[in-house]
Amino acid sequence: MASELPALALPSTLSPDDLDSLSELSIVLAKVRAGLQSSTGLTTGATPGGPSSSGQQLSFKDVPGATDKLKHKLQHARAQVRALPDMDRSIEEQRAEIKELETRIEMQRALLEKLRESGVQFSKDAYASGDKMEL
């Protein structure tokens, strides 16, 4: 069953940088914006909170070339995510496993509570009868 599967680590070829496409895309867009502003004569400065384009500018015709690295990064990340274990399982299979695990957790919590109560009762009984445990 699914509960018998060992925990698997992420592949070494998949890193958080592979999945971070927003920062790279925002840099490209900032460069396009800088190009648009310079072509229209607007100089509003850097966008608050936005990435710095370091004085570089892009025109619309340069965007495909500038986004090649991003495209390849996304293709690599997509291939790596597809290679992860259990990616072929359906949502229903995953929901069934989650329900099974939640049931198992509840059973373990109930057992722990019962053991705690038994320990407290044992301690009370031992104290009441005058037995002292030696260390």
Tens of pLDDT, residues 8-57: 666 777 777 777 888 888 888 888 888 888 777 665 555 544 444 456 88
Three-state SS at 13: coil
Closest CA to 22 of 76, 63, 67, 60: 67
Q: Work out whether the CA dihedral 121, 123, 128, 133 comes out positive or negative.
A: positive
Q: What is the mean pLDDT of the chain?
A: 79
Residue 4: pLDDT band (50, 70, 90) is low
The predicted pLDDT at position 78 comes to 87
Tokens of 92: 């229903």
Q: Domain ranges in the chain?
A: 14-88, 91-130
The predicted pLDDT at position 25 comes to 86
> Residue range 129-135: average pLDDT?
61
In this structure, of 40-44, 64-68, 123-127, the range with the lowest mean pLDDT score is: 40-44
The predicted pLDDT at position 9 comes to 66
The predicted pLDDT at position 106 comes to 97
Percent over 90 (pLDDT), the chain:
20
DSSP H helices, 3-90, are: 16-19, 22-40, 63-66, 68-82
The predicted pLDDT at position 49 comes to 44
Write the CB contacts of 41 (distance below 8 Å, at least 6 apart in sequence).
none
